[in-house]
Amino acid sequence: MQEKVLKARPGLPVLIITIILYLLALGAAIGGGVLLEAGNNVVGGILMAVGIVWLIVGFIPFLGLKILGPKEAYVFTLFGKYTGTIREAGFYFVHPFSSAVNPTGKTKLGQSADVNRQASKVTVSTEGGTVEMPKKKISLKIMTLNNSKQKVNDALGNPVEIGIAVMWRVVDTAQAVFEVDNYMEYLSLQCDSAVRNVVRIYPYDVAEDVDTTGDGEPDEGSLRGSSLLVADRIKSELQKKVEFAGLEILEARITYLAYAPEIAAAMLQRQQAQAVVDARKLIVEGAVGMVKMAMDRLEEEEIVKLDEERKAALVSNMLVILSGSREAQPVINTGSNYNDFR
C-alpha cells in the first residue's frame, strides 16, 4: 500500500462557521421559546426544535479539526478504508468520522530506549533531544533506536557483547502503518537479527584464515578494527529488511563492543601474552641487527681480531645485554679467556 495525500480543507473557516452556527442555534432555541410563550406555536416550535437539535449534534464538525506540527503526519481511515495522509503542518478539517491511525502510540520496547510510554504522550528520542507528541501523530523526524547490548558469537565462536545505535525515519506512512503490525517493534527485532547475521562473519580481533568479505580469500577484517565497515554492513542488511515497511535507515553505529564476561579475563591474558611476544620479537630483531653491525665495524676497522670462540662469547654477551629486561652489570676481565693447565 502506497501513501497518498489527503486533500483536507483549511480548519479555520470551518471553526468560524461552526461557532456561528452554534450561536445561531442558541438564539433560535431562545427565540423559539419566546414565540411559544407569545402563542406562535408553529414557528416557535420549529425554531426551538432546530436550535436544540443543532446544540446536540453541532459539536460533530469540531471532531474533524486537526492541528499538525512540523515533521509530523496524520494517517486517516474512514470506516476501515485508508483515505490518505496529511504531512504539511497546519490547521485542517477532515471528515469528522475519520480515525487517525498510529499503531506505535502505546509501544513500550523493553530492549530499546527510543520510546517511553506515558499517560497520554509518547517521548521520542530525536537528534535534537526528546520531544513529546500525541499518540495519534506519526513522527517524521530522524529518530534513534538504541537497542540493548546483545551477546553474539563471532566468527571464531567467541561470545562477544555488542550494542548499536540506528538513526532512522518514516518515509512512507501508509506502508509503516499498514504493512507491519508495529513498525517500531518490527525495526527493533530486525535490528537484532541484522546484528547477529553480520557479527558472526567477523572475529573480534584479526585472525588467520578468516574470510569476512566473501571473496574466498583470508583478510584482516575484525569487529574491533573494522567497526565502520561492520556498521555499514549492518545498515545495508537492515535497510533491505525494513524497506517495504516504509522506513529509511540513515546510519548505524556500534556503541559498545567487548568480550562476554565469562571469557573476558582469559582473552585479556591472551592479548597481554601476544603483546609481550610481539615486543620480545621486535627487541630480538633489533638486538641481532646491532650485534651484526658491531661485529662488522670491529672487522672493518681492525680494532681487535677475534677467533670464532671469542666472537661467539661476544655475540652471547651482547644479546644478553640488548635483549634482557634488566640492566647489565659490567664485568672487567683482567686475565685471559684461555687457561693453560699444566
Residues 211 and 314 in one domain: no
Of 8-17, 179-188, 266-275, 294-303, least confident by mean pLDDT is 266-275
> What are the tens digits of pLDDT across the range 251-274?
999 988 888 887 666 667 666 766
Residues 65 and 138 in one domain: no
Q: Which of 165, 160, 225, 236 shows the shortest CA–CA distance to 199?
A: 160
More confident residue, 231 or 325: 231
The pLDDT of 94-103, averaged and rounded, is 91
Residue 225 has pLDDT above 80, yes or no: yes
Per mean pLDDT, which of 140-154, 158-172, 288-302 is the most reliable?
Answer: 158-172
Residues 122 and 255 in one domain: yes
| Domain membership of residue 270 as a residue range | 265-323
246 falls within a domain: yes
Residues 248 and 158 in one domain: yes
- As for how many domains the chain has, the answer is 3
105 falls within a domain: no
303 falls within a domain: yes
Residues 151 and 170 in one domain: yes
> What are the tens digits of pLDDT across the range 229-247?
999 999 999 999 999 999 9
Residues 299 and 237 in one domain: no
Residues 121 and 250 in one domain: yes
Alpha carbons 67 and 260: distance in angstroms, whole number: 49
Residues 18 and 77 in one domain: yes
183 falls within a domain: yes
Residue 50 has pLDDT above 50, yes or no: yes
90 and 35 in contact (C-beta within 8 Å)? Answer: no
> What are the tens digits of pLDDT across the range 100-125?
998 887 766 543 434 444 434 445 45
pLDDT value of residue 110: 44
Which residues of the chain form beta strands (DSSP E)? 9-10, 65-68, 72-78, 81-86, 90-93, 99-100, 115-117, 121-126, 129-134, 138-139, 143-146, 150-153, 159-170, 247-259
Q: Give the predicted TM-score (pTM) of the model.
A: 0.69
Which pLDDT band holds residue 332 (cuts at 50, 70, 90)?
A: low
Burial of 87 (C-beta count, 10 Å sphere; 0-12/13-18/19+): middle
Residues 83 and 129 in one domain: no
Extract the C-alpha cell encoding 46: 420549529
109 falls within a domain: no
- The residue among 244, 259, 274 that closes a domain is 259
More confident residue, 65 or 273: 65
212 falls within a domain: yes
Largest Cα–Cα distance in the chain?
Answer: 161
Residues 186 and 275 in one domain: no
Q: What average pLDDT does the structure give for the chain?
A: 80
Q: Cα–Cα–Cα angle for 127, 133, 138, nearest 5°?
A: 80
